[in-house]
Homo-oligomer: A and B are copies of this chain.
């Protein structure tokens, strides 16, 4: 078999397949692209990977990926320590921050429950969440802000149980009709929730 790719190229193609969403064909295309047209990019990526693995860890308070032991958000003394907003990902946290409507603390699960994909409570930050809920200064309200998907709801259920068992007040982001939308085009489940949660 002189036609298998050379060893180093094969190793690279296999390593690229560890990336989510990258199969055999994309890995080959990526490997050839880097070696043909972007060797600088390949070396930069190698260095970025090493530095990220060495330098990134979980914030001991909110579990997000951070360069410091305590991330900048958790280290901000002006934020309200009595409220803890639980989100799935840093992107969700950023979305809430952009509203400017929340000044409490966060906990980032870094994932969602997905039993079908083999993602259980131990694969997301449920254990560190438990520690966080028992830490001082005490949290009074847990705002569950996981996504309104099947996985997000399952995750919300687990978080709610955990926080309730500790006697904490638990709230969930309101479900309802999105701002700017016409009822005619909103799905029935959303309208039903908006009716039930009317105020």
How many monomers of this chain does the complex have? 2
Interface pair B29/A16, CB less than 8 Å apart: no
| CB <8 Å contact, A9 and B65 | yes
Nearest B-chain residue to A16, judged by Cβ? B45
The stretch that binds B, out of A46-54, A132-140, A175-183, A189-197, is: A46-54
Q: Is A18 an interface residue (CB 8 A)?
A: yes
- Residues of A contacting B: mostly: helix
Mark contacts of A88-129 with chain B using CB atoms, 8 A cut-off: 1 yes-contact digit, 0 otherwise.
Answer: 011101100110000000000011000000000001000000
Q: Does A130 contact B (CB under 8 A)?
A: no
A19 with B34: CB separation less than 8 A? yes
Q: Are B48 and A12 in contact (CB under 8 A)?
A: yes
Enumerate chain B residues within 8 angstroms of A66, measured Cβ to Cβ: 6
Question: 3 tightest A-B contacts by CB?
Answer: A18-B41, A15-B48, A46-B49
